[in-house]
Amino acid sequence: MAAATKTTAGSGATSASRTRGAAKSAAQAIVEFDKDQELHAYREMLLIRRFEEKAGQLYGMGLIGGFCHLYIGQEAVVVGMQMAKKDGDQMITGYRDHGHMLVMGLDPKGVMAELTGRRGGLSKGKGGSMHMFSKEQHFYGGHGIVGAQVSLGTGLGFANMYRSNGNVAMAFFGDGASNQGQVYESFNMAQLWKIPVVYVIENNKYGMGTSVARSSATTDLSQRGASFGIPGEQVDGMDVRAVMAASERALEHCRTGQGPYILEMVTYRYRGHSMSDPAKYRSKEEVQKMRTEHDPIEQVRKRVLDAGWATEDDLKQIDKDVRAIVAEAAEFAQTDPEPDVSELYTDILL
């Protein structure tokens, strides 16, 4: 298992309580990516990172208000899952949601303009950072109440089952949300009815300022479904290849009518919980160590260069392309007008 996993505050990873799902994961050899996969992952992760860096910058300039939760450091999780999913599979997540939107194909201009509260934002400026949706792209938000998306995502999976459409819902939540009661209410129903939903726990090690060890009686979150008989595995969420491989297993399990599956993505956020969080609950060294030794983008970059699949210049070109997309989004988000005042009273009821 990757180093990232071993740094979890809870050493539950080695406890005897682990069930077959997790054990299976530990034994999985890394499935290497081919050139296209590596370059795809590189570009997608880089887009999220550059986008989030820009969002942080705009926040600092006072152009983005309220809460803004950046995804920097966790990019491999959504990109690996996106590479494993099929068209029609749905995603739903909490408030740290920009990365999910980008991988689901939502327009970066629309996302950034929503962050600045403009009329061209995906929710016409009425949702903000935590509330964007796209039925066409099968992205169901963007939810600000910790844990609510787990029940909602179970409902998306329920709809798939009701319609026998073969799709799987992916419900993302954090280590913090994993202690909410409705998560377990959802686990119970999902397993009882064999609902096709993958529960993706993005364990970035801190629920706001409280570490997993300080908030959770058991810290191997992949086993949180054990009492319901839901298989779970701990995944190195900093390695996009591990994420994709685990996601394929999980999605297949759900798609074949075997019920829900839990993936604990062991990952790390480099920034504070939100823009206003100084993150004094952890050391600079801890953050620096993750950045230098486990950065999801750097891992791909190194492999691509080592394999000779791209040159430094090729990668620079990708970065340049990505930066152009982000710059265009930022430009739009600053020049697009605020919503018309008449929008105050629209979209309340159909």
Does 90 sit near other proteins (CB under 8 A)? yes
Cα→Cα distances 26→23, 88, 225, 299, Å = 5, 30, 18, 20
Which of 13, 41, 76, 92 forms a contact with other proteins (CB under 8 A)?
92
Between residues 228 and 309, which has the closer beta carbon with respect to other proteins?
228
Q: Which helix (H) or strand (E) holds 109?
A: helix 108-115
Please check whether residue 238 is in contact with residue 4, taking contact to mean a CB–CB distance below 8 angstroms. yes
Q: Which residues of 49-69 are buried (b: 16+ CB within 10 A; e: fewer)?
A: bbbbebbbebbeeebbeeebb
- Shortest distance, CB of residue 237 to other proteins, whole angstroms? 24
- Shortest distance, CB of residue 127 to other proteins, whole angstroms? 4
Between residues 217 and 348, which has the closer beta carbon with respect to other proteins?
348
Does 156 sit near other proteins (CB under 8 A)? yes
Between residues 126 and 323, which has the closer beta carbon with respect to other proteins?
126
Cα separation, 328 vs 208, whole angstroms = 31
Between residues 153 and 174, which has the closer beta carbon with respect to other proteins?
153
Between residues 26 and 145, which has the closer beta carbon with respect to other proteins?
145
Per CB under 8 A, which region of 14-22, 41-49, 145-153, 225-233 contacts other proteins?
145-153
Q: Which helix (H) or strand (E) holds 153?
A: helix 148-163
Sheet with 232-236, side-by-side order of all strands: 90-92, 169-174, 197-203, 261-266, 232-236
Question: In terms of Cα–Cα distance, which of 141, 222, 151 is closest to 187?
Answer: 151
Per CB under 8 A, which region of 74-82, 147-155, 223-231, 242-250 contacts other proteins?
147-155
Which of 16, 36, 87, 135 forms a contact with other proteins (CB under 8 A)?
135
- Shortest distance, CB of residue 129 to other proteins, whole angstroms? 11
Does 121 sit near other proteins (CB under 8 A)? yes
Does 160 sit near other proteins (CB under 8 A)? yes
User: x/- site string to other proteins, residues 161 to 200, per CB under 8 A?
Assistant: -x------------------xx--xx-xx--x--------
Cα separation, 73 vs 68, whole angstroms = 15
Between residues 136 and 313, which has the closer beta carbon with respect to other proteins?
136
Beta strand residue intervals within 112-266, DSSP E: 169-174, 197-203, 206-207, 210-211, 232-236, 261-266
Does 140 sit near other proteins (CB under 8 A)? yes
Cα separation, 101 vs 230, whole angstroms = 27
- Shortest distance, CB of residue 131 to other proteins, whole angstroms? 4
Between residues 57 and 227, which has the closer beta carbon with respect to other proteins?
227
Between residues 45 and 150, which has the closer beta carbon with respect to other proteins?
150
Cα separation, 6 vs 79, whole angstroms = 22
| Burial status of residue 8 (CB atoms within 10 A of its CB: 0-12, 13-18, 19 or more) | buried
Q: Is 253 left (phi over 0), alpha (psi -120 to 50) or beta?
A: alpha
Residues in the chain: 350
Q: Per the structure block, which two tokens stand in for 83?
A: 């590479």
Q: Residue count at the site for other proteins (CB under 8 A)? A: 46
Does 125 sit near other proteins (CB under 8 A)? yes
- Shortest distance, CB of residue 195 to other proteins, whole angstroms? 8
Does 26 sit near other proteins (CB under 8 A)? no
CA-based end-to-end distance of the chain: 50
User: x/- site string to other proteins, residues 317 to 346, per CB under 8 A?
Assistant: -----------------------------x
> Rule CB under 8 A: which residues touch other proteins?
90, 92, 121-128, 131-135, 140-145, 148, 150-160, 162, 181-182, 185-186, 188-189, 192, 346-350
